[in-house]
Amino acid sequence: LHVIFFYLFGFCGIAHMIANIFCHAQSLYYINPYGRLSYYLKITFSSLYIISAPILVGAFILYWKQCITWAYDVFAICEYCGVFLNICFHGCAFFDIRYKVCFR
């Protein structure tokens, strides 16, 4: 059950990142001084996230089907990296709302 929900989380994360980057390119990209920085950070984090996905799946299959123990270590590292990259991607919201929201 954990595996199913984690892969669902990953696919939804990728879809959200792609949609967010597309929308950002049409609007917030042009706002100075952080529009371009946020855009390029989002591209970087989402690219790393997408690159790590096949490695994660491959490592899980090697561990699950072939019982290769080091593959679980690779899977766990990719899992933690994926969560970290997702957090970093959402952290770009700081640049998106900076100077647009008044915190009191």
- What's the pLDDT tens digit per position in 30-88? 888 888 999 999 999 999 999 999 999 999 999 999 989 999 999 999 999 999 999 99
**What is the domain range of residue 19?**
2-97
Residue 104 lies in a domain: no
Q: What is the pTM of this model?
A: 0.85
Residue 14 lies in a domain: yes
| CA atoms in the 13 A half-sphere facing the CB of 80 | 5
Q: What total number of domains does the chain contain?
A: 1
- Single-letter amino acid, residue 78: C
| Alpha carbon of residue 26 to chain centroid | 20
Residue 103 lies in a domain: no
